[in-house]
Every structure is written in structure tokens, then in C-alpha cells.
Amino acid sequence: MSNLPGKFVIGLTGNIATGKSVVRRMLEHLGAYTIDADALTHRVYAKGAPGYQLVIDKFGKWLLNKDNEIDRKKLGNLVFSDPEALRQLEDIVHPFVRQAADILVKRATQSVIVIEAIKLLEGDLRNVCDSIWVTNAPEETQVERLIRKRGLSREQALERIHAQSPQSQKVTVANMVITNTGSYDDLWKQVSEAWKQIIPGAKEKEPTDSTIQKAKPTKATGEFSVVRGKPKNASVIAELITRLSKGKRSMSVDDVMESFGEKAYMLLQQDGQMVGVAGWQVENLVTRTSDIFLEDNIDTAKALEILIAGVESASSELQSEASLIFVLNELSTQEAIWQKLGYEKRTPETLGVQAWQDAAIESTSAGSGLFFKQLRQDRVLRPI
């Protein structure tokens, strides 16, 4: 892949709870196209996908759930207790993941590609990388994250940490080590500096400070425009979300900075003022948009048209296959507006594609409405 003209491939790895995905997201903010190879493995054996029947033939129909999907928990329990079964699964999955990654890289318009994989160094993906980046964290920090984010006990957290190969082995072969001790500001500085060092001449493409301004309580009447918020705009984003949500989502600068490890923000402007915001992310080739807040005194239909178009445009650069929008309160009742934008009100189980269903189930909250739109027909690892 790195032999393609104009492409530079970063392989990103690290042990559990060291912050690989956060660093990948930061590199995406800086302009890279990023691939989560571990998420692609789930697509390989989704119902009808290329590896589906191969996994069933190898391990048996007992893995299937009531919907004839392969139950990941059953499969996980099998392969993580039997090294030979894990090797057999990897023999099935890895070639398809490599093929999918090849397709994504060739389609990407970005010159820098990041491939995140927990077993990057053990597989042939390592051979296509121009640079190896490793995330590192003290063991106690790993334990704290696993307890806080995954609800594990201390004993369970330590068991998972010690089940992996020593982190020092990865650090030894790294071209770049990112130490993640928990401070988002420090992590962002490290990633930004590493980006500049390893990508000669790379600069963050972001609006100037004068483009992002706090809104004033006056009625706006001009044309709408959108701009993608960056970590440097955290204070403006925090104020905007807190104000437009009428305090229901009180955000501090630290809250926004932490959220940048998971999502991006699209900001809506009118007459030079901030009048709307949407938090969004593309994960496993699925766009999830939430945290949509708008000023009361603006044209809701037009505002949503411009704001969502901005999210879709940015999503297309990340090769998103489908857009899921999660809205609360009055926006969830505006079905005519959403239909005009090409969205249907759906439930997770009606989406058809397992990756889309999983994203919907994971992100749906109580009282939220789900609106769906397919963005691409040429899906990676599509059902046969």
C-alpha cells in the first residue's frame, strides 16, 4: 500500500487501554485517513460477507444467534481460550482485512494513511507501513481506564493487561512512541509534534482564530456556512453547546478536549456568529451524528440542511457508507425536514447491515430518534 504514489502509511499499535483509538482520531483531525483494522475483522464474518461461511465451516453452526449472525461473544470465548482456534480464525480473517484495507487506501484522497491494529506487528500489515507508532501508558493508568470505561474489576483489568505481549516489545521497534498518561492537552501536543516531524511540511489545515467567534444574542438573518471545529476552538465549542442546550449539556473546555478523542464538531455560522453545532464521528465506515443544537431564532430547515451537508461532505472524505443521526426533543418530530434531506426514521434492527445495526444500538439513547441515510453503494466487504 505504501508503494502507491503520494501515500505515506503509519501503522499504529499499542496494548489495551493505552489510547490507540484516541491517537488515531487525533491524526484524523490533522488530516489523515484512518483505518481501524480490528473493526474490519468484524465485517469479514458478518452475515453474507466473504468470511461468514468459512468461519461457520471451521467452527460450527453453534456460533449462530437467532438471526443467523455469528455471535461475537461465543466466538471470542472460543478463540481466546484456544490458541489454535485463534490462529485458525486469523488465517480466515486477515487476508480479507488486508484486501479491505487495500481498497480503502486506494480510494482515499488523503496522502497520509493510519492503520490501527492491536496485532499490527505480528501480521503482514506491518510490512506495508512506512512508520510504526506505538501508544504507551503506565500500567496503573491502563487499570484505571479499564475499570472506569469498561466496568472491570481491578483483577479483571490486570488479567487482560498481562494476557498481552509486553508493551516494551512494541516500544522497542517503534519509530514514534506516544506516551498517554491521561492529559488530553499533553497527548494532543505530542501527536501534533510527531505529525510535523514524521510528515515533512505537514501543517494542520484549520480555520484561523478570527473565523471562529462566540455568538452574540442578536438575530441573525444572513446566509449559513459551516466550519469544522478544532481542539484550539474548545472554549468556543464548550460555550456554544452549553448555551444552545440551555444548560442540559453543560460543557467545560476540558470536556470538549476529551470528546475530541472520540468525535469532531461541525459548527454552523450566520452573520459571523455561531448559531448551531453537531458532534459527529465516522467509526467502522459509519457516520454517527449527535449533539445537534441550534439557535431558536433561525430557519431550522435551512440550518439543518447546511449543517448536515457539512457533516456528510466531511464523512465522504472518510469513505463513510451510511449516516446515522440521533436527535432528541422537537428535532426528532421534524420528519418532513429529515425526509427532504434524504433520511428515513428507522429502528436499529431494520438497517440490514450488521455494522450499521451495531453502531445504531451503541449510540441510541433513551428518547432519541434515529434517522438513516445510505451514503455509498460500493461498500467494503459487502454481503455476497
pLDDT interval class at 202 (50, 70, 90):
low
The residue count for the chain:
384
Domain boundary among 198, 224, 254: 198
User: What does DSSP say about strands 176-179 and 131-136: parallel, antiparallel, or unpaired?
Assistant: parallel
Domain range for 35 is 8-198
* Residues 176, 268 within the same domain: no
* Residues 178, 237 within the same domain: no
* Residues 124, 233 within the same domain: no
Instruction: Give the span between the Cα atoms of 274 and 298, in whole angstroms.
Output: 11
Mention every residue, 6+ apart, whose C-beta is less than 8 A from residue 383.
Answer: 46, 47, 48, 49, 353
* Residues 170, 71 within the same domain: yes
Domain boundary among 132, 163, 198: 198
Kindly write down the DSSP assignment for every residue of 81-136, as one continuous string.
T-HHHHHHHHHHHHHHHHHHHHHHHHH---SEEEEE-TTGGGSGGGGG-SEEEEEE
Each residue's pLDDT tens digit, 227-252: 999 888 999 999 999 999 998 899 99
* Residues 230, 293 within the same domain: yes
Residue 12 · residue 133 · CB < 8 Å: yes
Residue 35 · residue 115 · CB < 8 Å: yes
Q: Specify if 315 maps to a domain.
A: yes
Instruction: Give the span between the Cα atoms of 253 and 251, in whole angstroms.
Output: 7
Helix (H, G, I), strand (E, B) or coil at 177: strand
Instruction: Give the span between the Cα atoms of 5 and 2, in whole angstroms.
Output: 8
* Residues 191, 213 within the same domain: no
Instruction: Give the span between the Cα atoms of 72 and 242, in whole angstroms.
Output: 39
* Residues 217, 186 within the same domain: no
C-alpha cell at 241: 453547546
φ and ψ of 215, to 5 deg? -75, 150
Domain boundary among 139, 169, 198: 198
Q: Report percent pLDDT > 90 for the chain.
A: 72
Residue 323 · residue 311 · CB < 8 Å: yes
Residue 78 · residue 59 · CB < 8 Å: yes
Each residue's pLDDT tens digit, 149-194: 889 899 989 988 988 889 999 999 999 999 998 788 899 999 999 9
Give the closest residue to 130 by CA, choosing from 105, 107, 108. Answer: 105
Cβ-based burial of 16 (10 A; exposed 0-12, middle 13-18, buried ≥19):
middle
Each residue's pLDDT tens digit, 95-142: 999 999 999 999 999 999 999 999 899 888 898 899 999 999 999 999
Q: Specify if 203 maps to a domain.
A: no
Q: Specify if 380 maps to a domain.
A: no
* Residues 152, 267 within the same domain: no
CATH number for the domain harbouring residue 14: 3.40.50.300
pTM of the model: 0.89
* Residues 223, 291 within the same domain: yes
Q: Specify if 1 maps to a domain.
A: no
Burial 22-54 (b: 16+ CB within 10 A, else e): bbbbbbbbbbbbbbbbbbbbbbbbbbebbbbeb
